[in-house]
Amino acid sequence: MSLRIVVTLVFAVILISGVVSGQQAVIESTVDVGIESGDLPRELNGFDGEIRGLWRDGRVLIGGQPDEPAFNRFKEMGVTVVVNFRSTAEMEDRDRVPFDEAAVVAGLGIEYVHIPLGGDDHPYTPQAVDRLADVLELHDGPVLIHCTVAWRASYMWAAYLVREQGFSLEDAMSRGEAMAIGDLPVEGLLGRQIQVVYAD
């Protein structure tokens, strides 16, 4: 992963967190996502079907790309909506995704929402968080959000928690780090940890 992508994502978290002049607004969300603030997301193991990483944080499932049989299991788990953050080009590439995800999900009676993120065509914006917030407001049950390996999904979830649930950036990033947000490559190169902070 290039440093440009990493820097873009770090700034995306800062930009979409809805902070002005370095101060975090107090959020009183009416949307219950079922999170216990003291508990970190829990990895789900032994999942039927193949998926590149899967965690539960409250009623939200955060994961990588599911294979086709995995969507049947999500249906059994009561998932009512799937939110996909992969780009259109990724989803149309049958070497990467050998099935039409939107059609498979719709065929199971699950709502499908595509919020593509990544590249110049699909930048990381506050509007993407708005769309996820709308989905979570409209759906009370389990919701799956995914990308390729849960990296974009973990960043999006962290941004949502800051903007819509009133989490501190540090607490939201800790939840993301418990899933797919790993050490930034530049930390290894510099031999020291980087702290993400709000811009003034």
Q: What is the mean pLDDT of residues 120-149?
A: 96
- Strands of the sheet containing 60-63, edge to edge, are 42-43, 54-57, 60-63, 143-146, 81-84, 111-114
**What are the extents of the domains in the chain?**
3-183
5 against 141, higher pLDDT: 141
Q: What is the Cα–Cα distance from 22 to 6, expressed in whole angstroms?
A: 21
pLDDT over 90 for what percent of the chain?
68
Non-local (6+) Cβ contacts of 176 within 8 A are 154, 155, 157, 158
* Helix 169-177 × helix 151-165 angle, to 10°: 150
**At 189, is the pLDDT very low, low, confident or very high (cuts 50, 70, 90)?**
confident
CA–CA distance, 186 with 16 (Å, rounded to integer): 22
Nearest to 143 by CA among 80, 86, 84, 101: 80
- pLDDT for residue 184 is more than 80: no
- Band of residue 183 on the pLDDT scale cut at 50, 70, 90: confident
Q: Is the pLDDT of residue 109 over 90?
A: yes
**Is pLDDT at 18 greater than 70 in this prediction?**
no
Q: At 23, is the pLDDT very low, low, confident or very high (cuts 50, 70, 90)?
A: very low
Share the mean pLDDT of the chain. 86
27 versus 160: the higher-pLDDT residue is 160
Place 28 in a pLDDT band, splitting at 50, 70 and 90: low
Fold entry, domain 3-183: Protein-Tyrosine Phosphatase; Chain A (3.90.190)
Residue with tokens 């370095």: 22
Q: 26: pLDDT confidence band, cut at 50, 70 and 90?
A: very low
How large is the average pLDDT for residues 149-169? 96
The whole-number pLDDT of residue 47 equals 74
Task: Provide the Cα torsion 144, 153, 41, 186; round to 10°.
Answer: 170
